Structure formats: C-alpha cells, structure tokens
Amino acid sequence: MKHPIVTPAAPGAIGPYSQAIDAGAFVYTSGQLPIDPATNEMPDGIREQTAQSLENVKAILTAAGLGMENVVKTLVFLADMAEFGPMNEVYSLYFTEPFPARSAVAVKDLPKGARVEIEVIAVR
C-alpha cells in the first residue's frame, strides 16, 4: 500500500510524480531541487543550494512524521563533481552517526539549472 506525502513546506511536484511516497515501513522522496517553496527561487552557491535541498527533504519527512535521523539512504546528483567538497560540508551538518548510506553522482544537467538535487529513503 502506498500513500503520497504532500506538503506546502517543500516545492510542489512539477510533473507526474509525488513529493514522496509512504510505503509503510519506508518513505521515498523524489529528488529535491534547491527551490525555496516560499519564493520559488533557487540560491546561487552550491552550499546554499545543498542546504535548501536538504531543508526541502526535511520538510517532506516532517510531513510524514519522520526526521533526518530516519534517513537510511541518500542519492546526491551534482551538476559538477568539483563541487562535491562544499556540498559534503553542508550535507554533514544534516546527519549524525550512524550516517545514511549515500551515492553521489555527477550528471550532465539538472532541472531548472540546479547545481544539486537530493533524494532520500527513510525508515520508520
């Protein structure tokens, strides 16, 4: 059984997908761009974009009754792998040990010209 998670505290879906799906024991978020849901704008720098993407993730998890401590897996998409270090510095502020498993990949382009997009899997 699956149920969509929807919150105005994170950017709304811009296509045929949900912000997240609650699948019982797990919550799967869609990739979160660094869009501020209040302004519909993206910050410029990779540090600020990483923080906004993770704030969007946090808002979705909160709507599901979870927190960042429930995250077991993350996937980070970067437009430029040279920005891994600054992204990682900000990322490390959002998680504590035991840290979630993570993949980080560079992609050719991200939607709306974003420099980072982050999705997570969380467990109840």
CATH numbers and ranges of domains, the chain: 3-123 (3.30.1330.40)
Coarse DSSP helix, strand, coil percentages of the chain, rounded to the nearest 5 percent: 30, 30, 45
What was the pLDDT predicted at 18?
A: 96
The conformation of residue 48, written as its DSSP 8-state character, comes to: H
Strands 101-106 and 26-29: unpaired
Per-residue model confidence as pLDDT tens for the chain (124 residues): 899 999 999 999 888 999 999 999 999 999 999 999 999 999 999 999 999 999 999 999 999 999 999 999 999 999 999 999 999 999 999 999 999 999 999 999 999 999 999 999 999 9
* CA distances for 79 relative to 17, 42, 69, 76, 114, angstroms: 22, 15, 27, 10, 7
End-to-end C-alpha distance for the chain, whole angstroms:
15
Model confidence, pTM: 0.96
What was the pLDDT predicted at 14?
A: 81
What was the pLDDT predicted at 71?
A: 98
